[in-house]
Structure 1
Amino acid sequence: MTILQPLAQQHFNRSLDELSNQEVYQLLVQLIQERAKDLPLFEGKKKVYYVSAEFLIGKLLSNNLLNLGIFDEVKAELEDADFTLEEIEAEENEPSLGNGGLGRLAACFIDSIASLGLPGDGVGLNYHFGLFQQYFKHNSQFYKPDEWLPGTNFLTKSSLQFEVPFTDFTLTSTLYDIEVLGYQQSGRNRLRLFDLDSVDPEIIEPGTISFDKEKIAENLTLFLYPDDSDAEGEKLRVFQQYFMVSNAAQLLIQEAIERGSNVHDLADYAVVQINDTHPTLIIPELVRLLTTEHEISFDEAVEITQNVVAFTNHTILAEALETWPMSYIEAVTSDVAAIIRQLDERFKAEHPQPASIQIIDDNDTVHMASLAINYGFSTNGVSQLHTDILKESTLKDFYELYPDQFHGLTNGITFRRWLMMANPGLSTLLDETIGKDWRKDSDLSALEQFKDDDAFLAKLADVKQVNKEALNQFLQANQDVTINTNSIVDVQVKRIHEYKRQQMLALYIIYKYFAIKGGQKPETPITIIFGGKAAPAYTIAQDIIHLILNLSELIANDPEVSPYLQVVFVENYNVTAGTYLFTAADISEQISLASKEASGTGNMKFMVNGAVTLMTWDGANIEIAEHAGLDNVYSFGREAQEIVKLYDTDGYNAAEYYEHDTIKPLVDFIVSDEMLAIGDEEKLRRLYNDIINKDYFMALIDLEAFIDVKEKMYADYTNQKAWRQKALMNIANAGFFSSDRVIKEYNEQIWHLD
């Protein structure tokens, strides 16, 4: 039975094989939308609203076909008509609704909520251009708007609108929905994205991502995380956050009433999970709505709100624990500012000390995490180590006040996107070897019995080789870059940030460059791949990109080194690029400074696809090591407790490490004649000076240990049977890191949905 052929005749009056790729894509989107609408919304008395500034959902075509259970059927019909699903999916624009791990986690979570049949929607903003489209010129990062909305997509404009009252004006929102389909489920949820009809891309200066930040009606949903290097940019972020949460709060109250709530019992009908501190203003906004729109007393409104809102903390970094001057909040929404002051006074009356838990400090600055913890009912970390650090250090005073409120819920990923869709070769091999139950329960442990099966290990290696060839084709098509598919593929992809220590891997590259120039040629060629964006205002992160790109050029043009070492920086890294990189990688670089990475989810995507983790004792790396086995990961570096103590005592001195015989020549090479000949001297010297005088995230403290473990890893790779066994053990023990498991835990411990 054909699915597409009748639709082709109906909509285009032509047979399927006569359509263009774009027409076939439009046909598939329409098919998916029609089938989705036939599915009922998941229902229950209580519903979760997952409110997040980001939802990095990636392309949806194949994922929706898979969840609807028609993927294989459609794929075969397309091939009969001389199409491939891959070339049709190339017609879909990558949704620019997120940037990094926070947004990718949110996407996995809403997928799992639907796949478990739970009633719950994601709520966020419909960014017109996301963060930005990254491109490289003169070995530096440049920006242009990432235009994704024009053309056919999975957004559906609804008739729902809300009035959002700011201090000086009121704006009317428009709601757009994206259907969220559960895997082989008979129902659906939605991603609810709010926008403004008045937003005007024409205010963006040509060729830039700059615009008038004071024209709120025209700019509010243009960009994710607009540049906040000035006061206008900071205020715009507050405008965005309030617009998001006001809509979310109005939506959940309206829907709760429709399901039978009298608003006094709102907590029986709705739970809000706020993804990091960006949506924290939903707390005073709920109080505002309950008191002004529903005539509930202030004290009862506060109690209701406290029983509705739960907070996920994603960081111990001070820069990410948001604080805003009260003057900004008053400029954006004076009514909410007044409520925050009332909440602060109420809290201080009961808890005058310590200052660390206060909502408004002596500088009249609002601490969003304090607001979320003091006026929510749950706070959770996202890995065991992260939760322990929150309890013992970062949020210690809160934990002592609310010990029963804290939960530890290690993050996870959806295997549907990151294994079934990203790695069909491995998925088929798993089906043939251990059956298909893993597709529903994520249990891959039966694979362990094949650890000593040479025939299976060879098949596993064949899958990896096919994925390396696919990565090579992707890089050729997108960047005109060719990699050696017989090399070790060593990958670090994530937001560019000093704590993630891309600069440490760059220093290792210099070490390896010297070694090869000195005649120490590796037995197997090495390809080191980076991917990720640096925030426009984050100068040192951009300097790190510049260093890496210069090293890439230097090595590529050196005939003595280039046959053995290649450095590639993937331009405009996104979900699509990730599917190629996670599946092709031999080595997963998880080298953040211990205590600074709350969890990570890229580490899990690499693991389930058979990469071997190179790790510090940080975030979920620790649990990956526990599940995969210490013999199947490579670890190095100081542990979290020592790093925390060094920060507490100001005990780290970069200059002392810089003087080490191994380290000094590597750092000095940043400003060598070879590098200055191809790079920008200001950028290179700035980075060089920062590393030797500051190095706030301690790249130098672990550098020598990092060099040693990388050399061991590359040497061990030559024993291919042992390496494949490590890869197998990682895959077999990845089941714990399914987002389905995490969402079950959220529901059991926090949400309590029917």
Structure 2
Amino acid sequence: MKIDLEARSQEKYGRPLAELDDSAICAMLEDIVREHAATMPLNEGKRRLYYLSAEFLIGRLLTNNLIELGVYDDVKAQLASAGHDLGAVEAREVEPSLGNGGLGRLAACFLDSIATLGLPGDGVGLNYHYGLFHQRFVDLQQAAEPDGWLDRQDWLVRDEKAYTVEFGGFSVKSRLYDIDVLGYVRTTKNRLRLFDLESVDDSLVPVNSIDFDKGELAKNLTLFLYPDDSDDAGRLLRVYQEYFMVSNAAQLILDEAMERGSNLHDLPDYAVVQINDTHPSMVIPELVRLLVDVHGFEFDEAVSVVRRMVAYTNHTILAEALEKWPLESLKTVAPRIAEIVIKLDELERAENGSDDAVAIVRDGVVHMAHMAIHYGFSINGVAALHTKILEDTELHPFYELYPEKFSNKTNGITFRRWIMDANPALSGVLDDVLGTDWRTSCDLSGLLAFKDDDAVLARLDNAKTQAKASMREFLWETQGVRIPEDAIIDVQVKRIHEYKRQQMLALYIIWKYLDIKNGNIPARPLTIIFGGKAAPAYTIAQDIIHLILLLSRWIAADPVVSPYLQVVMIENYNVSAAERVIPAADISEQISLASKEASGTSNMKFMLNGAVTLCTLDGANVEIADLVGDENIYTFGTSSKEVERLYAEHAYDAHAHYLRPGVKLLVDFITNPAFLALGNAERLHRLHDDMAWKDWFMALLDIEEYIQKKEQVLADYENRDAWRKKSLVNIAKAGAFSSDRTIRQYNEDIWHL
């Protein structure tokens, strides 16, 4: 593909390229990409994958698509010769509000790899008008505002398909929109299919609030991702929204299968459905409903067909994250679906002679994950440790029933986004040292041959320096924060949740603050960066954000400590922010309570970009440790087996750990009088008391070892030669976490496209 930007500028605007502003150039480039993508045929195959997910955190698309088309370097050079910077141009693009955290970002990486491997497969979800929310910090607390984006984007293409979704007592019309998904240097494409509500009413949403009338169901189903479910209306809305998603998806699947020649009795030969977490699980009874009620199947045959075409990915070990909806809610939302769910439960009990432990319906509650396991042909975990915990404990009764269904598919990330796009300096070094084959093979192991090559180590170090400069510019422009040039960059960016233990890093910050106040001056400045949103109904998570913001202000105002310690909380952390922060990191914080993080993917992104991991042996951290060796990672914390025992025996005594003098000092700092005067006393007291008496995710259990290990990391950083080698090894071993590898495994073992 050849692009002449000067000619295009004259054609579109009647002016030379040098005279255009960044917004005009961004619009012009989006036009070029969209026009070219429109000429690309779909990846074809008899069997097509439908990847169903509530989230697709796709990020900005312009630069990524230029990379996929193989024209990024040429476009960048043409812009530079006309006095423009491609990064500034891309910043004019709005980021789609279609996801929140790791689940949605994983789905986006998977779509990239599915297209890059030339497999026929589309993502299917909802076209949220306001995403989760736009995060702002007001009075050192999280405030949530609508994150409107649809009127400022250029990627959605209206599709001709539209469906009717029947609810209890009323029906709605949908409208399908597509976003083209391009594979790396391929001539074919896939799509992200996003269903919207034809009767959606944006005026229900106030300008500066995410509160809206949850009862206006015919107008609100696609307004927000994960509407607040802290009340009955919110919980019911979630069920309506999920059924709207899967009913549209199921109708689309059947239509397209028939267009490709299916008589529906052979539907598994034409379609495979991957359920990404439990949110789309109702696609199972909905497919059965359509086959029985619309296409005249007998119930047993419909169930047999669906069982051979649906696969389920489990993303959690947390019981509260496995969705359970009251049967009465299903009867209200979709009475026919409730009938089918009851029949599926009865059929499973008859087949297996099973008890309530594995029932789909128990005590008037529908267990969505149980339905996906019983009526899917594949169940996979997303990291080796996670899958083993599912098989041995959390889902053990199901594993005994269906051992052949279970497998592990360790998560992955796309190198196109997370190194070629996010870290062009490092990408250039790899091109020079390894050649360009790594861009398609994702094999970086050849870098190990240069572990003792001072010139290569210096080039990698220079790439890190460039990434830090880019991050400093970004944080100054967007946050008004100046980062010292010589600071160690220590990062924990992820959804705010107690099990991820941002509160433990906050306790370390208190410890470090007091240590510096006591005269122990660090060898160089340390900048600790957080990023992530707390769910609007998750009070303790919002309390943790308040503590972090309060520490940031407290430390910045201290003339003794601030030259050596800095705390930054990124406002409205998103993919664009991640692309600037992750390449700059020296230390990757992966400190979840062992056994609670299914996988993690930020750990892979940091590793790929040369950060060294400080972690518990949880999720995919275990596999990272196995790959890089003990000398190139820092691990600490109570083992997953011991954590499971503490939970099983109710043996964890938070208050006993709190009363240890070194720990009590840190926790009590949260409610010292001066701190309370600066912050929100209610939030701080609540967080203090929760940690001192409950501490459900055991931050106090590991805090002392964590502090010790973290201080070792900082000391080791000063041996610059040794640290550079650790960084190189991490990059070299990151190929194992390419999403291309993950998708090949899904296809070979599950999808068979």
Aligned-pair CA distance for 1:600: 0.2
Matches within 5 A, 1:723-738: 723-738=723-738
Q: What residue in structure 2 maps to residue 489 of structure 1?
A: 489
Q: 1:4 to 1:696 in 2, by over 3 A?
A: same
Structure 2: runs of 5+ lacking an equivalent: none
- Residue 467 in structure 1 maps to residue 470 in structure 2: no
Aligned-pair CA distance for 1:465: 1.2
Q: What residue in structure 2 maps to residue 251 of structure 1?
A: 252
Matches within 5 A, 1:40-439: 40-362=41-363, 364-439=364-439
1:344 and 1:358 in contact (8 A); partners too: yes
Cα deviation per residue 1:350-404 (whole Å; 9 max; x = unaligned)?
2343322100002x00000000000110000000000000000000000000000
Q: What residue in structure 1 maps to residue 698 of structure 2?
A: 698
Aligned-pair CA distance for 1:62: 0.4
Q: What residue in structure 2 maps to residue 454 of structure 1?
A: 454
1:155 and 1:177 in contact (8 A); partners too: yes
- Residue 605 in structure 1 maps to residue 605 in structure 2: yes
Matches within 5 A, 1:579-658: 579-658=579-658
Q: What residue in structure 1 maps to residue 509 of structure 2?
A: 509
Aligned-pair CA distance for 1:83: 1.4
Aligned-pair CA distance for 1:677: 1.9
SS of 1:397 mapped into structure 2? helix
Distance 1:502 1:426 in 2: 29
SS of 1:734 mapped into structure 2? helix
1:354 and 1:397 in contact (8 A); partners too: no
Aligned-pair CA distance for 1:148: 1.0
SS of 2:319 mapped into structure 1? coil
Distance 1:28 1:469 in 2: 26
Aligned-pair CA distance for 1:2: 5.0
Cα deviation per residue 1:53-74 (whole Å; 9 max; x = unaligned)?
0000000000101111111111
Distance 2:140 2:609 in 1: 31
Q: Aligned AA for 1:299?
A: D
Cα deviation per residue 1:47-103 (whole Å; 9 max; x = unaligned)?
110000000000000010111111111111112222111111111101110000000
Q: Aligned AA for 1:641?
A: K
SS of 1:11 mapped into structure 2? helix
2:286 and 2:337 in contact (8 A); partners too: yes
Distance 2:522 2:487 in 1: 10
Distance 2:78 2:465 in 1: 27
Aligned-pair CA distance for 1:13: 2.6
Aligned-pair CA distance for 1:223: 0.5
SS of 1:733 mapped into structure 2? helix
Q: Aligned AA for 2:227?
A: P
Aligned-pair CA distance for 1:206: 3.6
Distance 1:752 1:352 in 2: 32
1:122 and 1:192 in contact (8 A); partners too: yes
1:444 and 1:733 in contact (8 A); partners too: yes
SS of 2:152 mapped into structure 1? coil
Distance 1:402 1:524 in 2: 55
SS of 2:701 mapped into structure 1? coil
Higher alpha-carbon deviation: 28-37 or 76-85: 76-85
Q: Aligned AA for 1:397?
A: P
1:134 and 1:572 in contact (8 A); partners too: yes
Q: Aligned AA for 2:561?
A: V
SS of 2:257 mapped into structure 1? helix
Q: Aligned AA for 1:682?
A: E
Q: 1:64 to 1:2 in 2, by over 3 A?
A: closer
2:413 and 2:737 in contact (8 A); partners too: yes
Number of residue equivalences: 752
SS of 2:661 mapped into structure 1? coil
TM-score scaled by length of structure 1: 0.99
Q: What residue in structure 2 maps to residue 543 of structure 1?
A: 543
SS of 1:540 mapped into structure 2? helix
TM-score scaled by length of structure 2: 0.99
Cα deviation per residue 1:2-52 (whole Å; 9 max; x = unaligned)?
522232233223332232322211111111111111111000000110000
Distance 1:446 1:560 in 2: 46
Distance 2:709 2:71 in 1: 45
Q: Aligned AA for 2:401?
A: L
Distance 2:476 2:152 in 1: 26
1:2 and 1:77 in contact (8 A); partners too: no
Q: What residue in structure 2 maps to residue 747 of structure 1?
A: 747
1:355 and 1:361 in contact (8 A); partners too: yes
1:277 and 1:369 in contact (8 A); partners too: yes
Distance 1:410 1:351 in 2: 30
Q: Aligned AA for 1:462?
A: N
SS of 2:144 mapped into structure 1? strand
Distance 1:661 1:233 in 2: 43
Distance 2:226 2:540 in 1: 18
Distance 2:466 2:12 in 1: 37
SS of 1:702 mapped into structure 2? helix
Distance 2:350 2:459 in 1: 66
Structure 1: runs of 5+ lacking an equivalent: none
Aligned-pair CA distance for 1:151: 2.5
1:312 and 1:379 in contact (8 A); partners too: yes
Q: Aligned AA for 1:27?
A: M
1:113 and 1:120 in contact (8 A); partners too: yes
Distance 1:570 1:600 in 2: 20
SS of 2:361 mapped into structure 1? coil
1:26 and 1:152 in contact (8 A); partners too: no
SS of 1:484 mapped into structure 2? coil
Cα deviation per residue 1:180-229 (whole Å; 9 max; x = unaligned)?
00001110000000001221111113421000001012111011001000
Where has structure 1 moved over 6 Å in runs of 4 or more? none
Distance 1:575 1:204 in 2: 25
Q: Aligned AA for 1:109?
A: F
Distance 1:559 1:456 in 2: 39
SS of 2:670 mapped into structure 1? helix
SS of 2:246 mapped into structure 1? helix
CA-atom RMSD in angstroms = 0.9
Cα deviation per residue 1:622-641 (whole Å; 9 max; x = unaligned)?
00111111110000001111
Q: Aligned AA for 2:274?
A: Q
Aligned-pair CA distance for 1:331: 1.0
SS of 1:229 mapped into structure 2? coil
SS of 1:118 mapped into structure 2? coil
Aligned-pair CA distance for 1:498: 0.1
Q: 1:428 to 1:318 in 2, by over 3 A?
A: same
Aligned-pair CA distance for 1:330: 1.1
SS of 2:54 mapped into structure 1? coil
Distance 1:315 1:665 in 2: 34
Aligned-pair CA distance for 1:580: 1.1
Cα deviation per residue 1:163-195 (whole Å; 9 max; x = unaligned)?
111111111110000000000111000000000
